[in-house]
Amino acid sequence: MTQSFTGRARRKKTHWSVRFSDRFYKSLITIGGIGTIIAVSTVFFYLLYVAIPLFRPAHIDGSETLNRPAADSAKPLSVQSDEYGLMNQVLYADGRLVCTRLDTGALLFEQMLFTNAALTAFTINPETSETLCGFADGSLQMGRISFQTSYVDAKELPPELQALAENGVGEWNGALLQRISDQQFRSVKLAATFDEPIPSETSAAVRLLDQATSPAGQISVMLNDEGTLSLLRFTRRENIMTGKVTIRRSVSVIPYTVKDHRDPPAWILLSGLGDTVFAAWRDGTLLRFDTRDFANPKLLERIDLVPEPDRKLTALQALLGRTTLLAGDSSGRTQAWFPAFSSNSRAQTFLVASHVFQGPAAVTALASSSRIRMFAAGYEDGTVDLFHVTSQKQLAHLTAGDAPVQAVALAPKDDGLLALTPKRLVQWKIDPQHPEITPAALFTPIWYEGSAKPEHVWQSSSGTDDFEPKFGLMPLIFGTLKATLFSMLFGVPVALLAAIFTSEFLSPRAKMHIKPAVEMMAGLPSVVLGFIAALVLAPMVASMLTVVMAVFITVPASFLIGAYIWQMVPHRWTLPLEHFRFIFMLLAVPAGMGVAWAVSPMVEKLCFAGDIMRWLDGQIGQAFGGWVLLLLPATCLLTAWLFSVAVDSRLRSFSMNWSRPQCALFDLLKFIVGAAAALLLAVAAAALLQELGFDPRGSLFGTYVQRNALVVGFVMGFAIIPIIYTISEDALSSVPDHLRSASLGAGATPWQTAVRIIIPTAMSGLFSAVMIGLGRAVGETMIVLMAAGNTPVMEWNLFNGFRTLSANIAVELPEAVRNSTHYRTLFFAALVLFVMTFILNTIAELVRMRFRKKAMEL
Amino acid sequence: MSSETSEKKSATSSRRRAKVSLFAQGEPMIWLTGGGLAVALCMIIGLLLLIFYNGISTLWPMPVPQIQTVSGTVYLGEVTRDESFRSNDEPVRTLHRRLMRTGNFEISGEHFNWINKHEVKEETLPQWALVIERTAWGRFYGFPESFVLGGETVASTSETVWKAFNQYHDAVSDRRGKIRELETHEIGRINRRLENARLALRTVELRSGLGSPAWNVEHTKFLETEKGVTEKFKKLQEEIVQLRTENSRYVLKLRTAQGKDTAILLENIVRAYPANQLSIVGKVGLYFERWHEFLLDDPREANSEGGVFPAIFGTVIMTLLMSLAVVPFGVMAALYLREYAKPGLVVSAVRISINNLAGVPSIVFGVFGLGFFCYLFGASIDELFFASSLPNPTFGKGGILWASLTLALLTLPVVIVATEEALSAVPNSMREGSYACGGSKWQTIKRIVLPRAMPGIMTGMILAMARGAGEVAPLMLVGAVKLAPELPLDGVAPFIHAERSFMHLGFHIYDLGFQSQNSEAAKPMVFTTTLLLIVLIFLLNLMAVRLRTRLRSKFVSAAF
């Protein structure tokens, strides 16, 4: 131990508490810091986690083959299973109703439904379970074959059933019982009840039947053995005294003549609202009748569903909503047909084949889901396919055996699929996941029901159950791009010019006040801007549109004219005023606006036939005026460029010996000539374009909507100005001063220094400023939500609204059901936004870092 | 840097032959760049003036003119604005019209009327035109007819009626306040007791099953509570009825400008004043009374009248909760990145990513908050701790806690970046000095680095608060509502109700301006609310800017 100065022994060891706290805080901060960074990155991963299941394939649980109780040669008319997947029923053409358990395949019961006459036709509505049967003697019978669910208390049951485990299934009184909780059992029972037969006037056997619920009531269509196709309506009358129900039918015969057919049609179908009847033959011929007028059905069109001569129509089935027809043919192809207006006439609809699904062999059975636009197709080779119509996604390809599939059925909740072959009954547990979403469904045009061609549409929800959700993201992405483009078009030039002026020409004292003031505007809540845009600016712009349009030309012009006047003023006067030059520039803004106000009536009269709203609507006027206004900025830039290339250098050598006032005068003259040239050029080009028949209305211009892209562009431009301004001003100011000094010392004017030295050096900084502004504009929500009208249309029209990704999320997410396709699609939209802005920002950040390094080296 | 230097050089040096060409000075181009700044400034000034003027003037009492048109219709009300429009008939003319708030919705079915200027025959300022702000149906404009007290007319000239009104109105208002107090607080308390008892019963039911002995005990308890509560409820109800009956004795009878007679219960009148008689002192008094109401009262009439106190309160609490969450974690992350992590590719990648997150749209954070906090995290909490009240979600929906956490995530980059900047501004020499004196790393950070960086950290916090207070888009998804019946902080245990949804100034603006039924009447209120929000945010920003300039002048650092 060495002796210390104080005489006390020196402690060389660090006190334990110091060491402890050092370690403690090191681990705390490390864990906390890394944890925070991970937490932030969770945002991305969680969005991904929610969105990914959209693209997962359908989930199929292995097949379960149940041997059919008896090998049946009879044709199955209807196959159905109950909501809980406990049992199924098959109705055969001979009138036998067979009910089997789905877990064991055991026969529950078999019943001969009709004893008095032979069943010849049958139809059932899967939603209401209402059935209609036709018989060989021409009579009809209405009824109901349904699975009835009730709940039973455990105490009422025999002990062996009480011992069932949760979800266990047992038989009791002809019903199936399933334990759902400690005390409760669910009981499912198949019940078939029928009304009294309705006698017929003719004795011809009923061959085919179909029914639908029209707004006026139940309506049916019938084909009998004589080939008469008729429309039926039933009126039910109950005798109050006896309680006896008598059903009367009113009949309207649908006239049809088909030359080459001696046979009657093989299928008849009624549309969902009962307003259309389809009759189809095996060779593919289909007749479509309009039955809105019950008494006078009329033929709408005749079409060949299977034009190929070597193919036959083998199955026909209506899709959910019963507007789209699924037609399967002998080559294994299934086509979806629906009526749509043709693109050139809105007078009449025509059937179009929108989607084609190819299977391996002749289609023998079709079944459509009762919840979504999905269908199952059974083939002759014993395989079964599951398709979603809208997205054209093949969800599954399954094998039921090697014999032809006689019938397929989808469970009411779409969680099971049944296939019936002569020997076997096969069931699969299925989970379609999100069949309506494929990358193509999100980003490419999709053929939706009722439209004449594939389209980009976003329409996520509607009032009815059989609605086809349309999840095309393109209209939203388009809206986002439109908003971004127009706001950048306004915001970027203003912000960059302002930054250049602030950094290069503004006095330091003024800069000290002005820059923080503009920076502060970055903190302005966007809801405020949205409110101003929607409630103040939008009505104002609507009431003086021409003024607003003129302002975009007169205000820049007033700055230029101000500059030329400033040059004209003798130098000894302007020199002391140099510091206050900016005040005169400020004054030029109201001056330009005043000019716009003054000339707007004239502009409106000359360019827009006196009323711009009606002009935009296309009611009056010609294309000419719009073209002039549209082309003017372009021709101005063109003439400015031409002048700088062709005139300026010569002028400079000419003017070596001119005095300042002479130069100023000549400069003004040059400007006037240039402006006149630009105007003339615009007028000439506009006249030419009009002669060629182009009209800006319908593309860039169009019918005026109060909440439009012009207003949004202006306000959102205003919103991104502060951020672009701040970053680019910082970039310009951080160009080292010695570059400026060197340039000025070499004799360059401040303007030349700015343009040739400062701006090129700071270019990457300016670029990153613009990119960051772009990122802001892409994700901005409140302004577009309030001021853009939120209609998802794809139009470049400056005066129409749009809907952006961000606004769409804000509007729809609160109402989306958790984990539904809609919910996940919105998460996907958020992910798209996240990725878009992240990429933009990363580019900006990388460029900025490079610039910073470069600026340091200089 | 200004052009002055070079200008002077050329002007004074007579020996140099070469002059600076005027064309080389690019004056027009400089004016064009200056124009950019001028346009930006004009827009900023215009916007601020617009909001400031409208926000300030909304609550100022306006005169109430009576206008008679050529066709004989009479309007009485406050002038909202004048504007010009184009007539539809040929020839197209520019005409002027005036929007008048005529109120009396229950009689006329309209709150506002357009009056064409050229159809006006006569405009007067009637002395006894009363403006009546009511608890329902919007404003009423009319003339006092008589004052009825318990079925007897006690005054029948304008002046005496007005006197009687002033005499009794305060007492009636007090009673109304008392009724409200009873209805919201007292009855709320009993309801809460009943609800708690029900939840306790349900908890026992979930645990030991329906009909079990424990359940039976709890059930008896529940029945007892229910009985007690019902009795108390009856008593309160009686008290309220009594107050109501007393209040219903006071009736003000009025006549509209169109000559229709109507009676308004004094109880339904919030405020009444003879607008055309008010002296300047009276107007100023009324103005401040309205500001008082605006800042400290609850909204009424679908938020278009009354105050915004719950919104102010919600905004402040939410922002505070948010900064409680964001500051410790933000500072920790910055300390880790700057002081502990080994600088390298990973750290700079993380830094870039964090910078980028500041540019990710706020709505994306809202989507995340809804999915992760409300639906995933909140739903799990519900299942664990609030199973008795399921299927009604407690935490499994938007609420102030989730909103604060979402905004904390959103503002985290702001705090991290600001703190890092502040930390890097502390010169290394100071750290090394501390180490040389034997300080440990944590001691150095605690005693040397953090105090120096404190102003920067504060700046970051204030900037985060300013951003958080103004952000609306994510709040729409995670818990801001148009009308919250209860504040997130109150006198009922556990005092802070982190699961409650709340009102927010920014969302209030969106809702009022965009989704209000009577948007014309709501517009002035939006301006005032906007003014309030802007002032709040600008004060926060100003504080941050001040702190930053102080920090910058204290320690020279390379900004940008």
Q: How far is A687 from chain B (nearest CA, A)?
A: 28
CB contact under 8 A, B37 and A502: yes
The predicted-structure confidence for A322-344, as pLDDT tens digits, reads as follows 888 999 999 989 999 988 887 67
Q: How far is A854 from chain B (nearest CA, A)?
A: 13
Distances from the Cα of A69 to the Cα of A97, A108, A172, B503, angstroms: 13, 10, 20, 65
State the maximum Cα–Cα separation within chain B, in Å, rounded to a whole number.
Answer: 115
Determine contact, residues A385/A379, Cβ cutoff 8 Å. yes
- Minimal Cα distance from B357: which residue of A? A838
Taking the Cβ of residue B435 and every Cβ of chain A, the question of whether any pair is shorter than 8 Å is answered with no
CB contact under 8 A, B473 and A652: no
User: Which of B4, B27, B80 best probes binding to A when mutated, by most A CB atoms within 10 angstroms?
Assistant: B27
Determine contact, residues B452/B430, Cβ cutoff 8 Å. yes
User: Which of B336, B450, B539 best probes binding to A when mutated, by most A CB atoms within 10 angstroms?
Assistant: B336
Q: Given a cut of 50, is residue B7 above it in pLDDT?
A: no
The predicted-structure confidence for A564-588, as pLDDT tens digits, reads as follows 888 888 878 877 887 788 888 999 9
The predicted-structure confidence for A658-715, as pLDDT tens digits, reads as follows 777 888 888 888 889 999 999 999 999 988 988 888 888 877 888 888 888 999 999 9
Determine contact, residues A281/A263, Cβ cutoff 8 Å. yes
The predicted-structure confidence for A409-433, as pLDDT tens digits, reads as follows 888 888 888 888 888 888 888 888 8
Determine contact, residues A468/A449, Cβ cutoff 8 Å. yes
A37, A43, A733: residue with CB nearest B350: A37
Q: Which residues pair with A350 in a beta bridge?
A: A340
Q: pLDDT confidence of B20, banded at 50, 70, 90?
A: low
Q: Given a cut of 80, is residue B495 above it in pLDDT?
A: no
CB contact under 8 A, B364 and A47: yes
> Where does residue A263 rank: exposed (0-12), middle (13-18), buried (19+ CB within 10 A)?
exposed
- The SS3 assignment for A393 reads strand
Q: How far is A856 from chain B (nearest CA, A)?
A: 10
Q: How far is B340 from chain A (nearest CA, A)?
A: 7
CB contact under 8 A, A47 and B368: yes
Size of interface A-B (CB pairs under 8 A): 373
CB contact under 8 A, A772 and B44: no
Taking the Cβ of residue B33 and every Cβ of chain A, the question of whether any pair is shorter than 8 Å is answered with yes
Residues in B closer than 8 angstroms to A21, CB to CB, are 440, 442
Return the minimum-mean-pLDDT range out of B29-33, B44-48, B449-453, B483-487.
Answer: B483-487
- Tell me the one-letter amino acid at B503: M
CB contact under 8 A, B31 and A563: yes
Q: Which residues pair with A172 in a beta bridge?
A: A175
Taking the Cβ of residue B35 and every Cβ of chain A, the question of whether any pair is shorter than 8 Å is answered with yes
B33, B440, B472: residue with CB nearest A18: B440
Q: What is the pTM of this model?
A: 0.88
In the prediction, which pLDDT does A224 show?
84
Question: DSSP strand E in A255-404: where?
Answer: 267-270, 276-280, 285-290, 298-304, 313-318, 325-329, 333-341, 349-358, 363-368, 374-379, 383-388, 393-399
B29, B38, B476: residue with CB nearest A751: B29
Determine contact, residues A491/A718, Cβ cutoff 8 Å. yes
CB contact under 8 A, B506 and A611: no
The predicted-structure confidence for A610-660, as pLDDT tens digits, reads as follows 788 888 888 787 888 888 888 888 999 999 899 888 887 777 777 777 777
Interface of B with A in 401-430 (CB under 8 A): 409, 412-413, 416
The predicted-structure confidence for B57-87, as pLDDT tens digits, reads as follows 888 888 899 988 888 888 888 888 888 777 7
Taking the Cβ of residue B109 and every Cβ of chain A, the question of whether any pair is shorter than 8 Å is answered with no
Regarding predicted confidence, which is higher, A350 or A214? Answer: A350
CB contact under 8 A, B368 and A810: no
DSSP conformational letter for B128: T
In the prediction, which pLDDT does A67 show?
66
Residues in A closer than 8 angstroms to B533, CB to CB, are 525, 528
Q: Given a cut of 70, is residue B19 above it in pLDDT?
A: no
- Minimal Cα distance from A30: which residue of B? B336
Residue B242: partners with Cβ closer than 8 Å, 6 or more residues away: none
Regarding predicted confidence, which is higher, A46 or A173? Answer: A46
User: Which of B329, B364, B417, B511 best probes binding to A when mutated, by most A CB atoms within 10 angstroms?
Assistant: B364
- Minimal Cα distance from A662: which residue of B? B22
Q: Given a cut of 80, is residue A514 above it in pLDDT?
A: yes
Q: ipTM strictly over 0.85?
A: yes
Q: pLDDT confidence of B531, banded at 50, 70, 90?
A: very high
B26, B340, B513: residue with CB nearest A29: B340
Residues in A closer than 8 angstroms to B560, CB to CB, are 730-731, 733-734, 852
